[in-house]
Amino acid sequence: MPSYKASTPTERPDHVEPGDYQVEVVDAIETTSRNGHEMIELKLRTSAGSYLYDFLVFIPNAFWKIDAFRAATGEDVTPDEDVEITADDLIGRTGTARLALEEYNGRQRNKVVAWLTETPTSLASDNVPF
């Protein structure tokens, strides 16, 4: 039976204020979109401890986002290169994402609006835990 040492109950933040945050891919699953396209669902953790999801959909008009994610997480992106991506290889990657707030089912949640290839100076000295 699992056990642990109890501490003072606190709430994990549901979301962070809009802005640029260091994020880590904590899980990645190969799946299909509602329209039947190949997709990787990314579970991300922000440096503030909140979680959110982003989706890499493998269709031509969304390849730019996959390239932006790859570049933001430190990978070299070469135009016209054929690339195979495995979801498990994305776990543990870190990068900077611009987050916005949106409402979903009556609750606020974060959404990735851009993957950034340069770390903003406000994050450069941040003591990020990953």
Residue-wise pLDDT tens digits, 71-116:
999 999 999 999 999 999 999 999 999 999 999 888 889 999 999 9
Is 90 part of any domain?
A: yes
CA distances 64 to 6, 15, 67, 110, 116, Å, are: 45, 26, 5, 21, 13
pTM of structure = 0.81
Residue 79 forms part of a structural domain: yes
Q: Domain for residue 93, yes or no?
A: yes
Q: How many Cα neighbours within 13 Å face the side chain of 101?
A: 11
Asked, for residue 78, whether it belongs to a domain, the answer is yes
Would you say how long the chain is, in residues? 130
Euclidean distance between CA atoms 101 and 17, whole angstroms: 7
Is residue 1 assigned to a domain? no
Which tokens in the block code for residue 92? 């543990």
Residue 12 lies in a domain: no
DSSP single-letter state for residue 56: E
Instruction: Answer yes or no: is 8 within a domain.
Output: no
What is the span of the domain harbouring residue 86? 19-124
Write out pLDDT tens, residues 28-61. Answer: 999 999 999 999 999 999 998 899 999 999 999 9
**Terminal-residue alpha carbon distance, the chain:** 30
Q: How many structural domains comprise the chain?
A: 1
Sign of CA dihedral 98, 99, 100, 104: positive
**CA diameter of the chain:** 53
Residues contacting residue 12 through CB under 8 Å, at least 6 positions apart: 49, 50, 51
